[in-house]
Structure formats: structure tokens, C-alpha cells
Amino acid sequence: MTALSSLWLPILVSSVFVFVASSLIHMLLPWHKGDYRKVPDQDRVMEALRPFGIAPGDYMLPRCSNMQEMRSPEYLDKLKKGPVAILTVMPNGMMSMARSMTLWFLYLVVVAVFAAYVAGRALPVGARYLSVFRFVGATAFIGYSVALWQMSIWYRRAWSTTFKATFDGLIFALLTAGTFGWLWPR
């Protein structure tokens, strides 16, 4: 067993490496540019929604209030006519990149802490590089990628978007695993 307190260096260094890699992937590589399609006639759609003053949050339409309403002819007709949508409304104005980047970095640290915890419980100080790589890599991959799949399963997010994000997660997991293998206490 290796104490979590002795793994702060690989936790922080791997978080920095993944932060830089994710920035490069999203700024330099084109594979995420098509993740979100443009709504046809977006100006008219935005103008139509604007008067409702929809507060930031997640919405579903049509949305029923209970199971009984879900079986009603009116609700079934709404489903049939459409559109059926899940909508995330964000605050108006420019998105704060500082806030998002800070939260992203904290998330990377949290994934690294869980990977460190699992590997630290399973491996001693001085463990072999490949043993560390295996435990940290599997745990980090789960943290970075597997939870994304439910968005395609339940909310119809394009599988292509999920697969690209899963591939990103694999890259992040390999960087995390390599960093831990390199900096594992001897």
C-alpha cells in the first residue's frame, strides 16, 4: 500500500499534462469541430425562444408531470408532432473560459486523486512502472470516459461525439498513467 499523501506530485503533474493535452486537442485538432450542429434558421429559433426568458438549466420537451399524463392522448400527440428535445440553456453573453478552465482543472485533479487512491491501495512504494500504469490507466480511463456513454444511451447524444470524447479520455488516461508510473514513489 502507498499513502495517498505521497502521491501528490504525480496527481498534480498528471493534471497539468492532461490540461495541456486537452487544450491542444480542442484548439489545434479538427475532430471536435462538428460535435454540435447548427439549428436550421437559428436566428428565427432564437427569436422565437427569447420572449420566454428561459432560465439557465436543463429542459425536456415535451415534458409531462407524472406517469398518468405520460399515457394521455395529448402527451402522445405532442411526442408524435415533435420536436422532441433535451435543451440546455446557458446564461446569456460570453461563456467564462476562466471559470470553465478552472473547473476542468479541478476535475482533472479529482480523477487523478481517485486513480491515485486505487493504485495506492493496490501497489506498494517502489512498484513496477507497468503495474502502476495498469491500475492508474484503467481508473483514469473510467473517470475520463465511461460516464460519457450514458449521454448517448439515454439522451441521444450523437455516438460519434461520445466516441471522440472517449478517445480523448484514452489519451488523458495514458498521460495520467505514464506520469504516475514515472513519478511513483521509490
Query: pLDDT at position 136, please?
Result: 98
Hey, what's the cell of 36?
454540435
SS3 state of residue 76: helix
Query: pLDDT at position 8, please?
Result: 98
Confidence of residue 82 (pLDDT cuts 50, 70, 90): very high
Q: Which long-range contacts (CB under 8 A, 24 or more apart) does 131-135 make?
A: 132/177, 132/180, 132/181, 132/184, 133/177, 133/178, 133/180, 133/181, 134/177
Residue 113 to residue 2: CA distance in whole angstroms: 13
Hey, what's the cell of 174?
495514458
Residue 101 to residue 61: CA distance in whole angstroms: 31
**Closest Cα partner for 177 from 22, 17, 6, 3?**
17
pLDDT per residue as tens digits for the range 85-132: 999 999 999 998 999 999 999 999 999 999 999 999 999 999 999 999
pLDDT per residue as tens digits for the range 31-56: 898 899 999 999 999 999 999 999 99
